[in-house]
Amino acid sequence: MSRDVLFAFLITDALYEPKRRSDWLRGRAQRLWGTRGNLWPDLLLLTLPFLILVLGLRGQYLNQSVVQRVAVNSGVTLPAFAAIDINKLTTRAVIDERGSFASVNDLKLRYPLRDLAPGEVLKDEHLVPSGLSGRIAGRRLLSLPIKNSHSAESVQPMEQVRLILAPRDKEISGVAIDDVIFLSRKKEGKTTFVLVAIPENKLTQIEGLLGTCDIFVSQRLSSS
């Protein structure tokens, strides 16, 4: 008989154990909730100095990082490979970035590698390397349609090439110009255009041929 009673007790205890645990957890939660009004001021006092320290450090970091850097004036676009007009530049407060410029005078005789949008901060990576900028000075930039687009695909910006103008009228002699700097290429429909920098004193040799000849970019030459 005692074995049956013990077995029944164990079954009853097992059935009611989850309920007792649930009641205990509910009671503890109610006690904690009842004392919340007494706990939150202590928690606030403990965390407030830490929050103030973090916010202070963040503000100090941002103040040190915000600097005046050169940017393009609003409403102005700087075209690629044209000498930068420093009158179209301004300075504005930005987070300091590697390669940016502190003074507009740092951009004298510099040339963008691509069009620079209004408000854009200028960086050294956007510009023709300073050591090569002198090679463009004193040259005229021309955008010309070429016939040998496939053979010219391997030519890289700032490489020296030969420009050949072959008149369609076979009785007119063609012209070859060696001192030409290749800048960029773009495709419009089926026609490939190249942007090249030609010395001013060579323009008279080609002005009369433009529009009446086929133009080719020949092999890359040594830029030395």
Place of tokens 């920098």: 197
Q: What is the pLDDT of residue 6?
A: 47
Length of the chain: 224
Given 24, 40, 61, which residue is the final one in a domain? 61
Decide if pLDDT at 136 tops 90.
no
Question: 127 and 142 share a domain?
Answer: no
Domain containing 93 equals: 66-131
Q: Report the range out of 129-133, 148-152, 179-183, 220-224 with the highest average pLDDT.
A: 179-183
Q: Specify the DSSP element, H or E, that contains 25.
A: helix 2-34
215 bridge partner residues: 165
Using DSSP's 3-state secondary structure scheme, residue 165 falls into strand
Q: How far apart are CA 162 and CA 135, in angstroms?
A: 16
Question: 18 and 74 share a domain?
Answer: no
Question: 160 and 198 share a domain?
Answer: yes
Question: 107 and 144 share a domain?
Answer: no
Percent of the chain with pLDDT over 90: 13
Question: 53 and 83 share a domain?
Answer: no
Question: 147 and 126 share a domain?
Answer: no
Q: Report the range out of 51-55, 62-66, 158-162 with the highest average pLDDT.
A: 158-162
pLDDT digits (tens, 9 = 90+) for 29-45: 566 555 555 555 666 66
Greater model confidence, 5 or 67: 67
pTM of the prediction? Answer: 0.56
Given 38, 61, 84, which residue is the final one in a domain? 61
The pair of structure tokens assigned to 55 is 């916010």
pLDDT digits (tens, 9 = 90+) for 74-129: 999 999 888 899 999 999 888 878 889 999 999 988 989 889 999 999 999 999 88
Given 84, 102, 131, which residue is the final one in a domain? 131
Question: 57 and 70 share a domain?
Answer: no
